């Protein structure tokens, strides 16, 4: 039987986490960040699937979702527009990097304020430049939202000197992978494509939900594939789909981008 030992901590000023926790010491864990509207977690089925996949691929015990969902419901009951963060670690134990003989998973729940600038970004679009920070390849972790996010920290640090709202992050073969904290997809000749994430990057919840609604091609993408597209979007589960109004020197009409995506979604809904 799968080991379902887990401790759920609602993060507040009185919460504590052991200094021996493997998530703190080794980044041994994973997380998901969800939008909460009127006490309901949007795209919960996809967030749950992400947590299950991360646990399986990283060799964690099976998570007890009955207990977890009950705790989530208690903490978001009064939330009207907030962010729920679910962070899972392997807990304490093990010698050095070695795994503990018995795993007691720690789950931290945080209910945070919803970013005030997201609504404006969705309406107005955002400007992108290419990040000087590139992502390393590690197929064993590709697609997963693990606690090892130092590359993204460096991306955000580099952004402080760039004149843009977000960046395109490439791998060492100069393939586009993602934005700093979101996926990228584009429309060309009424077809939707997005970067292949088999070596690095995170396959986000909003992108997963978009694949339920539209045929999306995952392929190797270069910057010029995006600058030559009819429309480009940055997306994650908090913002939804945000149109890109500029990549480097290439400018897009965000009203046209919105209209093109809306038309594609409506056409698929009729099928």
- Residues with a known catalytic role: 33, 145, 178
Left, alpha or beta for 39 (phi > 0: left; psi -120 to 50: alpha)?
Answer: left
Length of the chain (residues): 271
Concatenated DSSP letters of 174-218:
--EEE-SSSEEEEEETTEEEEE--SSSSB--HHHHHHHHHS-EEE
Contact yes or no for 182/228 (Cβ under 8 A): no
Q: Write a three-state SS string for 163-180.
A: CCCEEEEEECCCCEEECC
Tokens of 223: 């910057």
Q: Give me the residues paired with residue 171 across strands.
A: 135
Eight-class DSSP state of 146: B
Contact yes or no for 186/226 (Cβ under 8 A): yes
């Amino acid at each position: 039987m799968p080991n379902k030992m887990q401790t759920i901590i609602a993060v507040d000023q009185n919460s504590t986490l052991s200094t021996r926790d493997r998530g703190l010491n080794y980044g041994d864990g994973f997380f998901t960040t969800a939008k909460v509207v009127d006490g309901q977690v949007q795209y919960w089925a996809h967030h749950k699937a992400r947590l299950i996949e991360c646990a399986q691929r990283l060799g964690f015990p099976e998570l007890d979702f009955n207990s977890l969902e009950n705790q989530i419901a208690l903490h978001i009951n009064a939330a009207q527009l907030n962010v729920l963060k679910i962070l899972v670690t392997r807990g304490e134990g093990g010698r050095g990097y070695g795994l503990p003989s018995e795993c007691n998973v720690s789950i931290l729940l945080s209910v945070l304020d919803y970013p005030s600038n997201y609504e404006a970004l969705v309406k107005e679009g955002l400007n992108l430049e290419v990040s000087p920070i590139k992502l390393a390849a590690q197929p064993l972790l590709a697609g997963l939202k693990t606690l090892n996010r130092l590359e993204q920290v460096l991306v955000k640090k580099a952004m402080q000197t760039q004149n843009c709202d977000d960046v395109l992050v490439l791998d060492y073969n100069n393939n586009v992978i993602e934005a700093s904290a979101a996926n990228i997809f584009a429309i060309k000749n009424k077809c939707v494509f997005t970067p292949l994430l088999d070596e690095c990057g995170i396959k986000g919840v909003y992108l997963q939900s978009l694949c339920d609604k539209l045929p999306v091609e995952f392929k190797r993408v270069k910057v010029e594939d995006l600058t030559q597209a009819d429309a480009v979007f940055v997306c994650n589960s908090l913002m939804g789909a945000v149109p890109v109004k500029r990549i480097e020197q290439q400018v897009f009409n965000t009203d046209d981008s919105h209209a093109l995506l809306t038309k594609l979604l409506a056409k698929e809904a009729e099928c």
